[in-house]
Amino acid sequence: MERKYTILAVLLIILALGLVILPKKKEQKEIDPKALLSAVVEKSRYLSVDLVTHRIIENDPTLLLIDLRTADQFKLFALPGAVNIQPDSLLTATTLELMNQPGKDKVLFANSDLISEKAWLIATRSSVNRLYIMKGGMNEWFNTIIKEKPINSAASSSDLDLVSFRNAARQFFVGASETTNTPEKPKVKEKVQVIRKAPEASSGGGC
Amino acid sequence: MIGPIISSGIVSPAWDNIFAVIIGMIMGFALESSGFSSSRKIIGTFFGYDFVVVKVFFTAAIVASIGLLYLSYFGLVDYSQLYIQPTFLTSAIVGGIIMGIGFSMGGFCPGTSLAAIGVGRIDGMVFFGGMFIGVFLFSESFSLFEKMYYSGSQGPKMINEVFGISPELFTFFLVLAAVGMFFGAAWVQKKVKKVEY
């Protein structure tokens, strides 16, 4: 190999080595206040329970569900693939490492939006990207997906599609036999009260 | 344009197409001046008489990696804002095999065939025509391949994460591998009979 190329190769190795031995930056990155404000007012940071459910069912590899409820509540019921993180450990190195995974959509939720909103703000300030809130939390998820609602007879086709998706999702999460359909009542034989006609008075003769 | 200049709000997304044209022209110029418009030069990699393709691509990869990591270190680029193409393992393997066969048979890849057309090479035009037919047939029969196309989805995945090392350390190993390959290619080239083209 020519000498000039050898020099360039050595230079590249030195530069790459420099990357490895440079001291790691210790200061915590914080988002610019203007950028934070713009992110706070942005509605796209909310994901509907239907969308989250759809992504769970599709087994979307880019989805990372972060359940902020208590450990006991998490043990009782958890969404498939969800990770339980307590709000007070949101800024630990392990949690930040988890939330800084590139290419993952981190979706926060608790029972309602209150804790998720606070967690979203703290994590966004710590420069966590692609962070979302499941709008309404687990309460909304349960009311929308698990609880069956009566279908309005005047529902549009898109509403019917949504209902049909929710029914399928309900079966996915709780099983086909566990739907909240009211079981049909066993048929009880109704007693038929026979009202007998009073015997007609015999005619007095023909025409 | 996919990159931190647009997503950081430094440049308006309305400039996307202008950037695409400018970058395309620079890319075309670089390809032509590196000799990539010649199918014989490209095919040299497979026969061992010319390794310019591997050298140029490896150089581009390591210079970009080092540059990006330094710019990120000095706070000039937000590394996390970069768009990472999601990985679809099955289609990547199948597509890679088809691409490799096409590359070695035709002597071009899509970009270099356009560079060849730019300098008026007929083989480049034929290659591009074939590629266009292939794209058309694939699009028309997409439903047949759809399942395979989306299978093996792993989301955006970084290779350093797969190995569990930092991007800096991975880049260092990549540079060592590239430099080793440069010397190896020079050694092979000396052993193989020269081809005039």
Q: Domains of chain A, with CATH numbers?
A: 33-145 (3.40.250.10)
Q: What's the rounded Cα separation, in Å, for the pair B15 and B2?
A: 12
Mean pLDDT is lowest, of A129-133, A168-172, B13-17, B35-39, for: B13-17
Among candidates B153, B161, B172 on the partner chain, residue whose Cβ is nearest the Cβ of A61: B153
The answer to whether the CB atoms of A17 and B70 lie below 8 A apart is no
Amino acid at site A92: T
Nearest chain B alpha carbon to A5 = B182
Same-domain check for residues B78 and B140? no
pLDDT given for residue A93 in this prediction: 79
B166, part of any domain: yes
pLDDT given for residue B8 in this prediction: 59
Same-domain check for residues B117 and B71? no
B11, part of any domain: no
The answer to whether the CB atoms of A12 and B81 lie below 8 A apart is no
Same-domain check for residues B92 and B128? yes
Among candidates A5, A13, A22 on the partner chain, residue whose Cβ is nearest the Cβ of B176: A13
Same-domain check for residues B167 and B77? yes
Same-domain check for residues B151 and B61? no
Interface test with B, best of A8, A15, A26, A42 (most B CBs within 10 A): A15
The answer to whether A101 and A130 are in contact (CB under 8 A) is no
Same-domain check for residues B152 and B179? no
pLDDT given for residue B176 in this prediction: 95
Q: Which of the two residues, B21 and A194, has the higher pLDDT score?
A: B21
Mean pLDDT is lowest, of A6-10, B2-6, B82-86, B175-179, for: B2-6
Reported confidence tier of residue A28, pLDDT bands at 50, 70, 90 = low
Reported confidence tier of residue A53, pLDDT bands at 50, 70, 90 = very high
The answer to whether the CB atoms of B80 and A12 lie below 8 A apart is no
- Radius of gyration of chain B, Cα coordinates, nearest whole angstrom: 19
Q: Nearest CA to A54 among A153, A161, A129, A177?
A: A161
B70 touches chain A (CB under 8 A): yes
A129 touches chain B (CB under 8 A): yes
Chain A CB contacts of B166 under 8 Å are: 20
Interface test with B, best of A8, A11, A12 (most B CBs within 10 A): A12
Same-domain check for residues B150 and B92? yes
User: Is the ipTM here above 0.85?
Assistant: no
Same-domain check for residues B152 and B91? yes
Interface test with B, best of A19, A21, A30 (most B CBs within 10 A): A19
b/e sequence A163-183, b meaning 16+ C-beta within 10 Å: beebeebbeebeeeeeeeeee
Per-residue pLDDT for A159 more than 80?
yes
Domain that includes residue B55, residue range: 34-84+159-197
Please count the structural domains in chain B.
2
Query: Other C-beta atoms within 10 Å of B161: how many?
Result: 15
pLDDT given for residue A11 in this prediction: 93
B185, part of any domain: yes
Same-domain check for residues B80 and B124? no
Same-domain check for residues B98 and B145? yes
Phi and psi of B88, rounded to 5°?
-120, 100
| Percentage of the residues of chain A whose pLDDT score is greater than 90 | 34
| Percentage of the residues of chain A whose pLDDT score is greater than 70 | 81
**Most confident range, picked from A91-95, B3-7, B50-54:** B50-54
DSSP A178: G
Q: What average pLDDT does this structure show over B116-134?
A: 93
**A131-134: strand order across its sheet:** A46-47, A131-134, A105-109, A63-67, A83-84
Q: Which of the two residues, B57 and A195, has the higher pLDDT score?
A: B57
Same-domain check for residues B174 and B120? no
Q: What average pLDDT does this structure show over A54-82?
A: 91
The answer to whether the CB atoms of B172 and A20 lie below 8 A apart is yes
Same-domain check for residues B95 and B129? yes
B23, part of any domain: no
